[in-house]
């Protein structure tokens, strides 16, 4: 159950946009949840065994973390674009 003020704002915004309350609620929830990469999607941070920095093995966690952050930023840009529509 939503507080009365939030419920009223939700209904008002749904009317303003011409969408259902359910659709507006889904959009709001989607905008707040972190994106989850598809299972099995490769992280393309560098080609294993094809050069790279000499300390790549020691810095593997750093490279993976950077790749995940790039993927999350890209997903957030996509969600932000939808939100501004």
Tens-place pLDDT, residues 68-84: 888 888 888 776 655 44
What would the two tokens of residue 18 be? Answer: 């011409």
Whether the model clears a pTM of 0.75, i.e. scores above it, the answer is no
Tens-place pLDDT, residues 17-76: 999 999 999 999 888 887 776 665 665 555 555 666 778 778 888 888 888 888 888 888
CA quadruple 33, 77, 5, 24: dihedral positive or negative?
Answer: negative
CA quadruple 18, 20, 23, 24: dihedral positive or negative?
Answer: positive
Whether 11 contacts 21, CB under 8 Å: yes
């Amino acid at each position: 159950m939503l507080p009365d003020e939030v419920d009223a704002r939700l209904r008002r915004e749904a009317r303003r946009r011409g969408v259902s309350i359910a659709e507006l609620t889904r959009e709001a929830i989607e905008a707040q949840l972190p994106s989850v990469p598809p299972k099995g999607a490769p992280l393309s941070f560098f080609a294993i065994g094809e050069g790279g920095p000499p300390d790549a093995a020691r810095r593997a966690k750093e490279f993976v973390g950077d790749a995940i952050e790039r993927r999350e930023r890209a997903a957030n840009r996509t969600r932000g674009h939808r939100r501004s529509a």
